[in-house]
């Protein structure tokens, strides 16, 4: 009888413990649910971005449980980094990383970012991430893209920028070493990424990688200062590993291209002077025209103090009878006011007036 009473009490205690476990599963005081339904959903949008210092792992923080109800918080994330050798005998490595998440961080952050600065050259890596809500209340795994790692190339040196008309030319010395001091032998794996900033726009990369140590940027506007930095990018078993950026070099392109010389100049003596006409230039930045006159044996003189907008001019200040030569130039609106080469010269002879 006594033994039966002991067994009955043990069954009662076990039943109470089972009920309490179901009630407090995952720390939630609600009606009991199967444990899989109250777990967090896995992290989403897992990305790996490589920098010269290592890998940046990022992912969206889960906001809901598997059953669709909102989460009230997470304790953190369990990240397991798997690595294996790429060349030679296969050796595998495993490292467990814990990232805690406070209540305030859970409410404030939408994305978690982890910086891994302990990568080793010659290994291929991937991350497996689980969201942790409580004891045995863990999400299914989320897996990152796989990437290979190698010591990045050093920063390029002696970056120079020189400006032309709507272009900036860059050149720099080639990278010969990795950051760990080893020599860069396979130069065909090396590319360069060019970064540019101008006006109030931040430093950002240009679209394409280049394989040479020079580059001409034609996507520029005259009279705007552009600043550049260059980084070496090493292609290693499908991964692009970028090194630190070079010091900055800046240049300001200028409009140094003059308009075309005016065409079709004619000069006709008229009452009160000499009338000049020519065809209008088609340049969008045309400011106007200068008119020149020359008398044999004397220096040429410019008859216009500022460019005139229309392709015609009446010379009313003729010194007297004689042979006169005329030509016209076109001027643009650039800060330099580039002036074209002279048009073809035309001559006009002014005869003495006949006396009545």
Residues 156-169: tens digit of each pLDDT:
999 999 999 999 99
Residues 172/146, Cβ–Cβ less than 8 Å:
no
Mean pLDDT computed over 161-190? 95
Residue 302 CB partners (closer than 8 Å, separation 6+): 290, 291, 292
pLDDT in tens, 293-304: 999 889 999 999
Residues 298/259, Cβ–Cβ less than 8 Å:
no
CATH number at 26-149: 2.60.40.10
Strand partners, 35: none
Tokens of 347: 């001559």
Quick one: 166 exposed, middle or buried, by C-beta within 10 A (0-12, 13-18, 19+)? middle
- How far apart are alpha carbons 315 and 273 in whole angstroms? 5
* pLDDT at position 247: 97
pLDDT in tens, 97-144: 999 999 999 999 999 999 999 999 999 999 999 999 988 899 999 999
3-state SS assignment for residue 54: strand
* pLDDT at position 272: 87
* pLDDT at position 23: 45
Mean pLDDT computed over 174-178? 97
Indicate the average pLDDT of the chain.
91
CATH number at 157-251: 2.60.40.10
* pLDDT at position 353: 76
Is pTM beyond 0.85 here? no
Domain residue limits, the chain: 26-149, 157-251, 266-350
- How far apart are alpha carbons 104 and 265 in whole angstroms? 79
* pLDDT at position 356: 55
* Residue the block writes with tokens 């010379």: 315
For 266-350, give the CATH class.
Answer: mainly beta
* pLDDT at position 173: 97
- How far apart are alpha carbons 66 and 89 in whole angstroms? 41
Mean pLDDT computed over 11-17? 57
- How far apart are alpha carbons 313 and 195 in whole angstroms? 50
pLDDT in tens, 35-65: 667 899 999 999 999 999 999 999 999 999 9
| Helices assigned H by DSSP within 130-206 | none
pLDDT in tens, 189-221: 999 999 999 999 999 999 999 999 999 999 999
Other CB atoms within a 10 A radius of the CB of residue 219 amount to 11
Secondary structure (DSSP) of 268-337: EEETTEEEEE-PPP--TTEEEEEEEEE-TTS--EE--SS-BSSSEEEE----SSEEEEEEEEEEESSTT-
What band does 317 get if pLDDT is binned at 50, 70 and 90? very high
Query: Percent of the chain scored above 70 by pLDDT?
Result: 89
Exposure class string for 34-63: b at 16+ Cβ within 10 A, else e:
eeeebbbbbbeebebebebeebebbbbbbe
Other CB atoms within a 10 A radius of the CB of residue 11 amount to 10
CA 221 from centroid of its chain's CA atoms: 17
Backbone φ, ψ for residue 270 (5° rounding)? -135, 170
């Amino acid at each position: 009888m006594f033994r039966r009473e002991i067994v009955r009490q043990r069954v009662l205690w076990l039943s109470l413990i089972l009920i309490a476990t179901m009630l407090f599963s995952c720390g939630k005081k609600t009606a009991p649910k199967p444990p899989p339904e109250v777990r967090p959903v896995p992290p989403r949008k897992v990305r790996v971005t490589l920098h010269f210092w290592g890998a940046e792992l990022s992912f969206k923080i889960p906001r809901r449980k598997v059953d669709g109800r909102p989460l009230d918080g997470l304790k953190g994330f369990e990240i397991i980094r798997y690595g294996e050798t790429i060349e030679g005998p296969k050796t595998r490595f495993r490292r467990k990383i814990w990232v805690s998440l406070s209540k305030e961080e859970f409410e404030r952050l939408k994305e978690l970012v982890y910086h891994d600065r302990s990568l080793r050259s010659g290994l291929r890596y991937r991350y497996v991430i689980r969201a942790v809500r409580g004891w045995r209340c863990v999400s299914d795994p989320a897996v990152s893209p796989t990437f290979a790692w190698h010591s990045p190339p050093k920063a390029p040196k002696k970056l120079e920028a020189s400006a032309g008309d709507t272009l900036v030319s860059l050149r720099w010395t080639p990278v010969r070493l990795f950051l760990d001091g080893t020599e860069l032998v396979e130069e065909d794996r090396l590319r360069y990424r060019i970064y540019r900033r101008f006006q109030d726009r931040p430093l950002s990369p240009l679209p394409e990688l280049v394989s040479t140590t020079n580059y001409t940027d034609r996507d520029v506007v005259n009279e705007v200062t552009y600043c550049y930095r260059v980084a070496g990018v090493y292609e290693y078993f499908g991964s692009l590993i970028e090194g630190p950026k070079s010091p900055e070099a800046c240049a300001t392109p200028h409009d140094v291209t003059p308009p075309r010389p005016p065409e079709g100049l004619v000069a006709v003596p008229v009452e009160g002077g000499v009338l000049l006409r020519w065809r209008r230039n088609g340049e969008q930045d045309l400011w106007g025209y200068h008119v020149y006159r020359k008398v044999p044996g004397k220096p040429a003189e410019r008859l216009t103090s500022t460019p005139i907008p229309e392709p015609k001019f009446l010379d009313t200040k003729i010194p007297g009878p004689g042979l006169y030569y005329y030509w016209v130039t076109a001027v643009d609106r650039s800060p330099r006011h580039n002036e074209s080469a002279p048009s073809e010269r035309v001559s006009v002879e002014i005869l003495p007036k006949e006396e009545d």
